[in-house]
Structure 1
Amino acid sequence: MDSVQLPALAAFTNVARHGSFTRAAAESGVSASALSQSIRALEAQLNVRLFNRTTRRVALTEAGAQFLERVRPALAMLDAACEALDETRAEPTGTLRINLPRIASELLVVPYLAEFARRYPRVALEMSLDEGLSDLVGEGFDAGIRLGERLARDMVAVPLSGPLRLVVAAAPAYFARFPKPSTPSDLTGHDCLRYRFSTSRGIYRWEFAEPGKPQRVFEVETSGTFVTNDLRTMVQAAEQGVGLLHVIEDYVRSQLADGRLVRVLDDWALTLDGFSLYMPSRTQMPLKLRVFVDFLKEKCRAGRGGKRR
């Protein structure tokens, strides 16, 4: 193996990450046929089949999976060496790939995209919205942002925002039809808007803390006629009086302020740890990621946890 094969190795890891020549080619800006030829040439040089190919699927062979585990750290070291050059230039450069849930995107990042682009014009920001705890290294992300999640092994967390409070609320039209609940046990008689996780397919169980005993947290299984995997749609349904909503307070602060939504069960509200950025602990934070983290911290301090809607 010589340095000429480095592009082929990068192509190999890209195809392995996407499980598709078409998607990997689109990301790399080359044709799928050219990418396939590069992989075939690599397989011929190594004298081993790296992928099993069908008309519908591309999957690593056992030998391919073993090879990937050895190649990935080496390519990461090369990337780190290139990124270290940015330190000497004192200018962040390159593509920054971040995995985060929609609520973090809307509260922490999207309101400030234009300002970030003006400050760091040589950083290309790519965001992938996903509420699951992704394999950052395996899927090619620089970092992830999560709220109250258990981190995967070999990950470190950098706190971004302060604590965030959950709120139960509904439109005045809803409370014109149903009495306001006094305790979480009263929710059994209410139409609750429920959130389905896209990754696990499970339904979110509403979380509360006993009044005066914030450490005593418990869950309530709700029922209702509307289920979605999109928070924005859920808020819109609540504004129309479809049902009760359970969400981070900052996400509906403007609706609560102007009366479109009315809060209930405040004494039982649970406060969550804030958002954190997590990344592989074995890597030094590259400059492009460092400026992104510092930028988000600055905005969180100014907005007490994110942009209020």
Structure 2
Amino acid sequence: MKLDIALLHAVVAVAKAGGFREAARVTGSNASRLSDAVRRAEQQLGVRLFNRTTRSVALTDVGRTLMERLVPAMNEVESALDDVNRYRDTPAGTLRLNVPVSASRLILPAIVPAFLARYPDIELEVIAESNVQDVFRDGCDAGIRYDETLEQDVIAVPIGPRRQRFALAASPEYLDKAGRPAHPHELIHHRCLRGRFASGVVPEWEFEKDGEAVHIQTTGPLLVSIGSGVELAIDTAIAGGGIIYLFEEWLRPALESGKLEPVLEPWWLSFPGPWLYYPDRRLIPAPLRAFIDFVRECD
């Protein structure tokens, strides 16, 4: 009996994910295509692999028996192909990273050009978003996060600067007119340029000095999407529209040029640098292994 390997991959993806929608999200496919692939696999095999209801998809007894044999076999195939890849002069394949927009702007530019120059046969796909939750969504191989707390079966490697700060700044013209705050609490009287995550959350502005922590829920004339709207907020601050709170690296060009002036710098909050997350598994795809080694080399 012959069965298209692509149909087997679809069956395994649905079985692992526990449903068509979740499998589609993980693999970057769509639910209807996966459903059709599973249906065709069942037709060719002559057995039902999944029991389907409007609320759930579960393996049948036959399906579970097939998965017990099929998953180890397919893992072995992937391992064999990866072993072959190691004999190439350079690793090849696609590497998909899920990262915050800030990492795509502040961390990856110092790494990616040299990485791609060293490994010309690797295609790097970066998915940058402001509402980062699942590192491995959309079939990503690894991700970058600013929290070193590990999920189960995940490894983290330092990437980029190990300490960063949130900076507060405004144009000299704005501060000459509105005054220079001496304490974070005075920000409630200022025009603040704020950001909002894709989840809808507008984060507080956080400060710390000599053991005193201050959290301020600011207000102001501009609210932008964290990520895509950041440049607009910076331009507005430079034009005198208010005070901005952002990664220090993001504001550094404007600070160094004098277009923006530091505000309450002794209160700027310091936090740990980002981490590269990837699954804790025996087999690591060659493109990801090359990237991990390159990041460690750059550290």
The TM-score range, normalised by the shorter chain, is: 0.7 to 0.9
- Structure 2 match to 1:168: 168
Tell me how far 1:80 sits from its aligned partner.
4.2
CA RMSD of aligned residues (A): 3.4
Matches within 5 A, 1:258-277: 258-277=257-276
Matches within 5 A, 1:69-148: 78-89=77-88, 91-110=90-109, 113-137=112-136, 139-148=138-147
Tell me how far 1:5 sits from its aligned partner.
4.0
Which of 57, 63, 67 matches 1:62? 57
Alpha carbons 2:135, 2:277 under 8 Å: kept: no
Instruction: Call closer, same or farther: CA 1:285–1:49 in 2, change over 3 Å.
Output: closer
- Structure 2 match to 1:28: none
Instruction: Call closer, same or farther: CA 1:298–1:190 in 2, change over 3 Å.
Output: farther
2: CA distance, partners of 1:51 / 1:136: 28
Alpha carbons 1:83, 1:286 under 8 Å: kept: yes
Matches within 5 A, 1:275-294: 275-294=274-293
1: CA distance, partners of 2:81 / 2:131: 30
Aligned partner of residue 177 in structure 1, secondary structure: helix
- Structure 2: which 5+ runs fail to align? 15-19
Q: Which residue identity is paired with 2:184? A: P
Size of the alignment, in residue pairs?
Answer: 279
Q: Normalising by structure 2, report the TM-score.
A: 0.78
- Describe the superposition over 1:129-181 as per-residue Cα deviations: whole angstroms up to 9, x where unpaired: 12344434453111000123644332221011221122100122321331111
Tell me how far 1:249 sits from its aligned partner.
0.9
- Structure 2 match to 1:182: 182
Alpha carbons 1:11, 1:38 under 8 Å: kept: yes
- Structure 2 match to 1:227: 223
Instruction: Call closer, same or farther: CA 1:47–1:222 in 2, change over 3 Å.
Output: same
1: CA distance, partners of 2:55 / 2:6: 18
- Describe the superposition over 1:270-301 as per-residue Cα deviations: whole angstroms up to 9, x where unpaired: 111011101112344433123223434555x5
2: CA distance, partners of 1:3 / 1:233: 57
- Structure 2 match to 1:307: none
| Greater radius of gyration (CA) | 2
Identity of aligned residues (%): 29
Instruction: Call closer, same or farther: CA 1:188–1:73 in 2, change over 3 Å.
Output: farther
Alpha carbons 1:133, 1:151 under 8 Å: kept: no
Alpha carbons 1:133, 1:152 under 8 Å: kept: no
- Structure 1: which 5+ runs fail to align? 26-31, 53-58, 302-309
2: CA distance, partners of 1:105 / 1:76: 31
Is 1:246 the counterpart of 2:245? The answer is yes
- Structure 1 match to 2:17: none
